[in-house]
Copies of this chain bind each other. A is one copy, B any other.
């Protein structure tokens, strides 16, 4: 189920991000988000534990998609090749979320507690990728190094992507970020 179809969760996310952009994250209440979406507070709390969770609602989908792409990688692929198999589908997923991602990035950058939460979510993603590599028979050390490298490549590209105007640039930016990591490490 995509959160971005006109279902309740998708409408709540859209309403929330619109209000965050219009009047600020801190200033927006759950009641206002529900009202803007034409839904009740009760419905909001069926999908999100609080307004903060709206900002992180995509992380489960990101992880599922990334792990799915890894599962489809050839058995003999190197650990890094397995991890980076996730980059293109993830870039694809994000293209239509550029506006959301940009507003979200501004909110998170201005709020230390949200920055910490973002960091923890990335660490959870790294842990899941590492576990999937170990499952494939990769050593623990190679698994953590490949997982961390992949998530760093993703995050560097993501940060660059939200700070420019072209939604379709994410895929290219992932490639550039990976290439730059190779250059940095090979040097």
A157 to chain B, nearest CB (A): 9
A1 at the interface (CB under 8 A from B): no
A86 at the interface (CB under 8 A from B): no
Flag the segment in A26-34, A63-71, A76-84, A102-110 that touches B: A76-84
B156 touches A145 (CB 8 A): yes
Instruction: Tell which of B149, B160, B186 touches A141, judged by Cβ atoms closer than 8 Å.
Output: B160
Residues on B with beta carbons closer than 8 Å to the beta carbon of A184: 78-80, 142, 145-146, 149
Residues on B with beta carbons closer than 8 Å to the beta carbon of A144: 152, 156
**1/0 per residue A28-66: CB within 8 Å of B?**
000000000000000000000000000000000000000
B149 touches A187 (CB 8 A): no
Instruction: Tell which of B142, B146, B160, B187 touches A78, judged by Cβ atoms closer than 8 Å.
Output: B187
Flag the segment in A8-16, A17-25, A90-98, A115-123 that touches B: A115-123
A115 to chain B, nearest CB (A): 9
Interface residues of A in 130-181 (CB under 8 A from B): 141-142, 144-146, 148-149, 152-153, 156, 160, 177, 180-181
Other contacts beyond A80-B185, A141-B160: 17, CB < 8 A: A78-B184, A78-B187, A79-B187, A80-B184, A80-B187, A116-B120, A119-B119, A141-B156, A141-B177, A144-B152, A144-B156, A145-B153, A146-B184, A148-B148, A149-B181, A182-B185, A186-B186
> Which residues does A use to contact B, with CB under 8 Å?
78-81, 116, 119-120, 123, 141-142, 144-146, 148-149, 152-153, 156, 160, 177, 180-187
